[in-house]
Amino acid sequence: MARFDKRTLLKASGAGLGLALTLAPTLEAQGKTARKPAAGNGPFERPLTAPWQFRQADTNDWLAATVPGTVHTDLLANKKIADPFYRTNERDQQWIDKKDWEYRTTVTIDAATLKRDHVELVFAGLDTYADVYLNDVKVLSADNMFREWTADIKAHAKPGANALRVYFHSPIALGLKALDAFGFIPPASNDQSENGGLGDKKVSVFTRKAGYHYGWDWGPRFVTSGLWRPVTLRAWNAARISDLNIVQDSVSKDVAHLTAVFEIQADAAGQATIHLQSPTDASIKGQATVDLKPGLNTASVSVTVNKPKLWWSNGLGDAFLYTLKGQLVTAGTSDSRTVRTGLRTLKIVQKPDADGKSFYVELNGVPVFMKGANYIPNDNFLTRVTPAVYDRVVKSAVDTHMNMLRVWGGGVYEDDYFYDQCDRNGILIWHDFMFACSMYPDDQAFLDNVRAEAVYNVKRLRHHASIAIWIGNNEIDSAWENDVPNGGWGWKQNYTEAQRAQLWRGYEAIFHKILPETIAQYDPQRTYRPSSPLADWDGTNVKHADLNTPTQSGDIHYWDVWWGQKPFAEYRTHIGRFMSEYGFQSFPEFRTVKAYAEPQDYDIFSEVMKAHQRSSIGNGTIKNYMQRDYKVPADFRQFLYVGQVLQAEGIKVAMEAHRARMPYCMGSLFWQINDCWPVASWSSIDYYGRWKAQQYFAVKAFDAVLVSPVIDGDKLTITAISDLLDDRRALLVLRVMDFNGNIRSLNSQHIDLKANSSAVVYGGTVKDILNGAAPTDVLLSVQLYDLTRGKVPALSAVRGKPTIGGTLLNSNIVYFAPIKDVKLPNPALKTTVKAVGGDIAIGLTSATLVKNLCLSHDAEGRFSDNYFDVLPGEPVIVRFTPAKPMTVKAFEAGLSTMHMAEIT
């Protein structure tokens, strides 16, 4: 029995995430509707609600369980293990995945239900090797976490109580058997087999299960088992709708032509009528008569939508969704299914040009620069990811002006609720299939399993307007490069020619055959590419991603900053057509560290801090980069703070550089927006949903209008970027000021800010702009004002602050020397606090510069801005939105600050 203390349970943020066991999203939250018994013989579904129990299979110790859930979370709830994320507890819990586990409950079925033609148990997610027994008769065997499984139980069920058992085999034990049969260890570079007590025996590739469960360079190793999605009882007669797909044949601002494709499961031949209508738009309706045959039938209805409301991504317009209801009526039964979808055209445009070939998203005829991040699962224990957690991530993306998230291939096909929220909020999804950084088996059983997984998930997700592109895998093409003898990551050199051929057969079968065939058959209007990154693929031939070639196409993962220790300035010179991965690490804030560490652990090289850092070069690399530009603090809390500023400033360089190169570059997705546990990582939001400095910086770098100053030696260049779809008249203002607010030079010029474009609007020398000032004593403030709707004002300055009649579109600040060399003053920061609705408004002012002011509070909530510079004499108002109501007095008592001048 593990020892328990005050940190047995890591407490989560006010947004609702925690290690205390929580229920998974309900059927309604997942976008599904529980079907109640109809007045006639229509199908119905109901979730199983009876209590569950579980046990280690070789014991008789039955304990209370929660379904959906996992073995780990059930052990935690029963106090059989300590908090998995606390200190180094992970190491002591690797025994769990070596055991078999069993779950049981009672399914009560009435006689009327048993009279239905079909009585089924539907398992939305079984993780992973599961045998299902009803009344001690095996009714199902499952071997894929990513599929829905259905068991026909009519022949084995009885009126009243039925005993349901689910036996989970150890994924490690079965993985080891598969490895022995395979004969050698395939590449799986992130499988932390050593941490799992397996030595070099990496077994993750043999199991269709989330790769990150076996560990990654930002996550722990917890190989889970359990019923991770809901279980429902379904009963129906004669015929039912098994799928409804809305095909958008053509869409324009004037008219949309749609085809509703019904899949109908029928027991016998007969005539049926199918209808399509919209509960919210009576003009959308159509029907057809169909002749059903026994088995699976496909039938369609065409409808026209006049003057459709188009679906737009975040920042460009309303993400309008149509609700469409399909109905099936036969002589003896009826059924219905409802979907929500957005009407839009979306293309991935890959057109030859002088620089290679374009790669961009065209939405409703408009080229759109993709601003966003890579997304991983929100927890190692997926059943703790509630709707509130999904809401938090998607809202953070919206509030940061993002329009795309990449669902990465080492995680899971997410819950329907996540995609619903992306639909509603205009967040496009770059969607990997669940394969990453590994080579996979080539046996027919494995390939058939992959095909079934792909078909199920493509059909499940294809109606979502947010899905923009399907990608076969993460980084495997770059790692293997089959046609380049010494190419890739050096994997091939570890294998014989016969072994290489076998591994390549598996790759080609999955990524060049099964997955593209699945997209072609079930979602042909969307683009498929076999890997990310990838320069090009014509359906047969592959061109590998290589940023060193003179012409570019496809997408790029750029990691010479971080893994290659290159300076952040390299982000400005190493740019591809679409930057789908790049990033830099930081530690979470002190409150988060305190949740998993004790005071004796407060050193970045302590055992606990290293355990919560999975990058092989992690903590030392952060310190190495820090000392290039900042004072390296001796104080632990200050180190965490400077580390976050370091990450934010570095990724700011990349975000701005990518946008400045549009239309050559048309996408910037940093790695990564979220975490699956509290850890030092590349995330911009930590496990508890607390924004790091990088997320605050992204709000400004991803704004619809950006002004980006760059100092390169003695050259100063300023670029203005606009995602707006209309032209603007604007005023560019440049102020060089010292840290007491005295203006050393003041310049302005009128510019034409062209729609959806990027242009250099200023070029000069640093010497000229400094006007004799020392680089260590001044800063450059750049502001861009919208003058479109107003009279062009005269520019004046009062203590350096220009008086402008227009609206401030964007502002930026650049320094002329590394911050460690800048002569920062000790400011006298003044604050005033008052309640504004449910928020707290904080007024801030200082007679001297405050560099990277960080506001912190004991209570959960979010500041509207943070880690920002307070310019001398220029008031700033920041809002704090608390998770729970708060008085001004309570806020003042819990507020603390930190800034760069304090760092010693």
CB within 8 A of 893, min separation 6: which ones? none
pTM of the model: 0.94
Q: Within a 10 A sphere around the Cβ of 252, how many other Cβ atoms?
A: 14
How far is C-alpha 531 from the geometric centre of its chain's CA atoms?
Answer: 18
- In the 8-state DSSP scheme, what is residue 195? T
At 714-737, the pLDDT tens digits run 999 999 999 999 999 999 999 999
> What is 584-637 written as a DSSP string?
--BPPPHHHHHHH--GGG-STTSHHHHHTB-STTHHHHHHHHHHHHS---SSHH
- Bridge partners (DSSP) of residue 863 are 880
591-605 CB burial, b ≥16 within 10 A, e <16:
bbbbbbbeeebbebe
Instruction: In whole angstroms, give the CA distance from residue 128 to residue 125.
Output: 8
Instruction: Return the structure tokens found at 682.
Output: 């590349």
Instruction: In whole angstroms, give the CA distance from residue 781 to residue 810.
Output: 11
Q: At what angle do helices 387-399 and 416-425 cross, to 10 degrees?
A: 30
> What is 567-587 written as a DSSP string?
-GGGGGT---S-EEE----BP
13, 688 contact by CB (below 8 A): yes
How many residues does the structure list for the chain? Answer: 904
Q: Which residues of the chain are under the pLDDT cut of 50? A: 1-39, 792-794, 797-800
pLDDT (0 to 100) of residue 293: 97
pLDDT (0 to 100) of residue 33: 39
pLDDT (0 to 100) of residue 599: 97
At 283-297, the pLDDT tens digits run 999 999 999 999 999
- Bridge partners (DSSP) of residue 835 are 840
How far is C-alpha 680 from the geometric centre of its chain's CA atoms?
Answer: 17
Q: Within a 10 A sphere around the Cβ of 174, how many other Cβ atoms?
A: 17
Q: How far is CA 692 from CA 564, 586, 721, in A?
A: 24, 9, 25
pLDDT (0 to 100) of residue 41: 74
Identity (one letter) of the amino acid at 378?
A: N
CB within 8 A of 272, min separation 6: which ones? 239, 264, 266, 289, 290, 291, 292, 299, 328, 329, 330
The three-class DSSP label of residue 599 is: helix
Instruction: In whole angstroms, give the CA distance from residue 38 to residue 41.
Output: 6
Torsion of CA 581, 655, 638, 741, to 10 degrees: 180
At 429-480, the pLDDT tens digits run 999 999 999 999 999 999 999 999 999 999 999 999 999 999 999 999 999 9
Tell me the helix, strand and coil percentages in the chain, rounded to 5: 20, 35, 45
Instruction: In whole angstroms, give the CA distance from residue 904 to residue 477.
Output: 46
Instruction: Return the structure tokens found at 74.
Output: 């059930």
388, 509 contact by CB (below 8 A): no
Nearest to residue 143, comparing CAs of 426, 390, 445?
Answer: 445
The three-class DSSP label of residue 298 is: strand
Count of CA atoms in the C-beta half-sphere (13 A) of 109: 29
Percent of the chain with pLDDT over 90: 92
How far is C-alpha 27 from the geometric centre of its chain's CA atoms?
Answer: 22
